[in-house]
Structure 1
């Protein structure tokens, strides 16, 4: 048996959790001057955009894997996520009508009322008139870490914002989304929190996705209040580490975070097992349907996978709401436990998406370009299978065959 060809890895940012996992596997860091192609690329979204730009003429080779789908932004850019979720809901309603029955789509109401600005200003203005005392939250569509976010409860503030916007280099105003603020969040210790959940998609057609049990809850520095005098205090309203780490009450030991398993135990203890289980089942459904919402527009490529960072908030009625989905969830570490968690997540992602005999695997190289590159098991480390359409189709086919055989025996 010959010596296996080493994997050549590449990354355009040096994060310990990526570098350490590659080095621990004995992989070789890709050096352009050596003339060999890279095999595994943990790339930024900007680099991926360049790689998949048709004008560049770049075509990924047989033995190359990269960590983003070409148009991942259909889910991870805030305005496009909103557009795709709204379209998906209409499609589900239409399918029900075509089938001769009206479909209740209340279960798809997991996105707060949201509009794109300035494009949908007129629609937003109508909604604001209906609920003049509501609070709204404004976010730039393409920024992260809480940058550019602020709360508003006056139409004059929104109009003023539109009036002072400076056109970008392209001559357009930077787009924002404005969402109805969840002003009744579930609180723990008087503080608002949200969930950062990791989801790995290995294929969009058929859809195959895994949920990571190593997510965590992120807490605000300051106790929550809906008082107007605290509207500008982001440490009351936002959980982003980039904002809270500079506060006086920020806990450097645990980084204002709880492991997901701790939150589960807390929910079971305070609300009971049934309510807790229902909450996490609802979160799973949010993830599945958000992925289905972009399935039709996503460019499926066997060379690609995606590690998403889902941000979910829970209200005081234990209803989960989607805030946003991140294409590049932070790999920076704020504490030792944070570093350990993220190292584990990346290790499990690599085990999930890379065949044991990669890059020599002929099974991988000969795969249909429109199909996923492997059929992983139900569980890989901290990742558990969330949805596998291929498996669902096979199970339905087997059920039909079983029914046909049973009917044949009965003489039907």
Structure 2
């Protein structure tokens, strides 16, 4: 069977990789199997009535759904909601996070438990590292509020942000911060059936990690986004490693990673839309902290 594709993006990497697989490019008016399209094209092509849905994975909605997921498991008395030292033992896969400006008072209460701690702010509706910055003082947050002309007292603001406790002890490779990008195809939500793509990739910072205040504004130290790091002086187009230790470590990680991607049976509806689409293709970005080394040494 001949696979056909079309795209409305002028990206040679998309066309080249599709053609490399023997796929044939056609126009949008032809019978295509795959359409690599921008957001606006998707909105015009697919509506709720057509049986397709667009997944708008905004950061604030993700945070709200995960919190609902935890609460539902607690109500059920599910073992996954077990706590220790006031922290989740099995659901601790995202840092403490709030949505601003809505959760500002709750954030301040949490911040005062550990003053001078570092937090990372991300605009809910943006991507590719745009608009992200770190803070370690409330005064910086208040200054940002004034500069954005969106006082926390107002209900309507131009842009919402999520603010998360910064993971300042990441696992490092060559002294540099990295994270994992994995791809998952969900073909059914009830029952849940998901496939993880065998190959993922690591996103690396181009500058060695430094948690000092002096480097707080250096995004080449803190953000692994390719769109940010490609502008760095030491940017590299590719980096691979296949040593025996890497393979062993990968297998030790897989159980934990898959439990995040595909939760156990009996998963409440809050993890997905009430009327989910038939299929969904998504990606996960996972940051591993240095505690992995200690776990590895204990085994």
TM-score by length of 2: 0.82
User: Structure 1 residues 236, 266: CA separation in 2 closer, same or farther (over 3 Å shift)?
Assistant: farther
RMSD of the alignment, in Å? 2.9
**2:145 counterpart SS class:** helix
Distance in 1 (alpha carbons) for counterparts of 2:129 and 2:178: 14
User: Structure 1 residues 40, 218: CA separation in 2 closer, same or farther (over 3 Å shift)?
Assistant: closer
What's the CA shift string for 1:141-178, capped at 9, x where partnerless?
A: 121111111110001111121222146xxx63201100
Segment of structure 1 superposing worse, 205-214 or 145-154: 205-214
Measured after TM superposition, the shift of residue 11 of structure 1 is: 2.1
**2:94 counterpart SS class:** coil
Counterpart check, 1:77 vs 2:53: no
Distance in 2 (alpha carbons) for counterparts of 1:96 and 1:204: 23
- The number of residues matched between the two structures is 280
Residue number in structure 1 paired with 2:110: 127
* Equivalent pair of 2:60/2:161 in contact (CA under 8 Å): yes
Measured after TM superposition, the shift of residue 301 of structure 1 is: 3.2
Residue number in structure 2 paired with 1:48: 42
Residue number in structure 1 paired with 2:136: 153
User: Structure 1 residues 145, 96: CA separation in 2 closer, same or farther (over 3 Å shift)?
Assistant: same
Residue number in structure 1 paired with 2:273: 297
Counterpart check, 1:143 vs 2:126: yes
**1:160 counterpart SS class:** helix
Measured after TM superposition, the shift of residue 281 of structure 1 is: 1.2
User: Structure 1 residues 125, 91: CA separation in 2 closer, same or farther (over 3 Å shift)?
Assistant: same
* Equivalent pair of 2:182/2:283 in contact (CA under 8 Å): yes
Distance in 1 (alpha carbons) for counterparts of 2:186 and 2:53: 13
User: Structure 1 residues 26, 311: CA separation in 2 closer, same or farther (over 3 Å shift)?
Assistant: closer
Residue number in structure 2 paired with 1:258: 240
Identify which of 5, 9, 29 aligns with 1:9: 5
* Equivalent pair of 1:10/1:40 in contact (CA under 8 Å): yes
Distance in 2 (alpha carbons) for counterparts of 1:241 and 1:95: 41
1:165-314 to 2 correspondence within 5 Å?
A: 165-166=148-149, 172-252=157-237, 254=238, 257-258=239-240, 262=242, 265-267=244-246, 273=248, 277-289=251-263, 295-297=271-273, 299-302=275-278, 305-314=279-288
Counterpart check, 1:29 vs 2:26: yes
Distance in 1 (alpha carbons) for counterparts of 2:18 and 2:221: 39
Distance in 1 (alpha carbons) for counterparts of 2:126 and 2:196: 25
Residue number in structure 2 paired with 1:344: none
What's the CA shift string for 1:310-338, capped at 9, x where partnerless?
A: 1110111019xxxxxxxxxxxxxxxxxxx
Residue number in structure 2 paired with 1:375: none
Structure ID, larger Rg = 1
- Stretches of structure 1 lacking an aligned partner (at least 5 in a row): 61-68, 320-412
What's the CA shift string for 1:246-292, capped at 9, x where partnerless?
A: 2222234x2xx436xx3x74446xxxx4x653322111111113995
* Equivalent pair of 2:81/2:89 in contact (CA under 8 Å): no
- Stretches of structure 2 lacking an aligned partner (at least 5 in a row): 83-87, 151-155, 294-299
* Equivalent pair of 1:207/1:295 in contact (CA under 8 Å): no
The answer to which structure has the higher helix fraction is: 1
* Equivalent pair of 1:72/1:298 in contact (CA under 8 Å): no
If asked which structure has higher relative contact order (CA below 8 Å, sep 6+), I would say: 1
Distance in 1 (alpha carbons) for counterparts of 2:31 and 2:204: 43
Identify which of 153, 164, 185 aligns with 2:147: 164
User: Structure 1 residues 18, 91: CA separation in 2 closer, same or farther (over 3 Å shift)?
Assistant: same
Measured after TM superposition, the shift of residue 51 of structure 1 is: 3.4
User: Structure 1 residues 31, 130: CA separation in 2 closer, same or farther (over 3 Å shift)?
Assistant: closer
